Amino acid sequence: MSEEKDIFSEASFTAIEPTAIAPTLNEQGQTKDATPKAPVTAMWIVMVLAWIFLLVPFPLTGILIGWPLDLAAIVLAIICLTRDRVTQGVIGLIGTLVVSTFLFFVGSILMVAMLATMGDQKSLLNKQQYQHQQQQQHQQLRSESAHEILISREIDTRAVDTKA
């Protein structure tokens, strides 16, 4: 056994000394990060804009404006994940996938309610216009019948005058 070398007894390992990593400098001599910053603020701005357009109760604003903005927010959330902002990236992904879908359905319900209310107002307006037209026709018939009565009385008085 003495012939076998004990690998742990000899100093076969070389010690690795920690070296200081030199920071990178920009043109002005200031230190800059090796990895670029995560676009957390941009992600939140785009996400909030998407949420606003998803809630707007006008046809196609959620689909044509809200969802593309939401897709951009998803891309920014993934960029945040890759740049060591995992918490912000996960929150951004959850916000874009879950909250945006919920707000899209809320906006759709608001649009349907708005259109239904507009339909009720239109039918009410049509009903009021119809009633107004009926009243005008009734008044016109009254005035015509009153005018005919006056004419017939005038004719009767002339006929009496001619007989006498």
Question: What pLDDT, in 10s, does the model give residues 4-63?
Answer: 555 555 555 555 555 545 556 566 666 555 567 889 999 999 999 999 999 988 888 888
- Asked if residue 95 is part of any domain, the answer here is yes
Q: Residue 50: is it exposed, middle or buried by C-beta count within 10 angstroms (0-12/13-18/19+)?
A: buried
| pTM, full prediction | 0.54
pLDDT of residue 79: 93
Q: Given this model, what pLDDT does residue 106 score?
A: 92
- 27 assigned to some structural domain: no
Structural domain contains residue 50: yes
> Under DSSP, is residue 94 helix (H, G, I), strand (E, B) or coil?
helix
Structure tokens given for 22? 């030199």
Residue 103: partners with Cβ closer than 8 Å, 6 or more residues away: 51, 54, 55
d(CA 157, CA 164): 11
**Of how many residues is the chain composed?**
164
Q: Which domain holds residue 142?
A: 37-158
Tens of pLDDT, residues 112-164:
888 888 776 667 667 777 787 888 887 877 777 777 777 777 776 766 666 66
Residue 12 lies in a domain: no
**Assigned domain for 115 exists:** yes
Residue 5 lies in a domain: no
Residue 4 lies in a domain: no
Query: Would you state the pLDDT for residue 151?
Result: 75
Looking at the domain assignment, is residue 28 inside a domain?
Answer: no
Q: Which H/E stretch holds residue 24?
A: strand 24-25
Total domains in the fold of the chain:
1
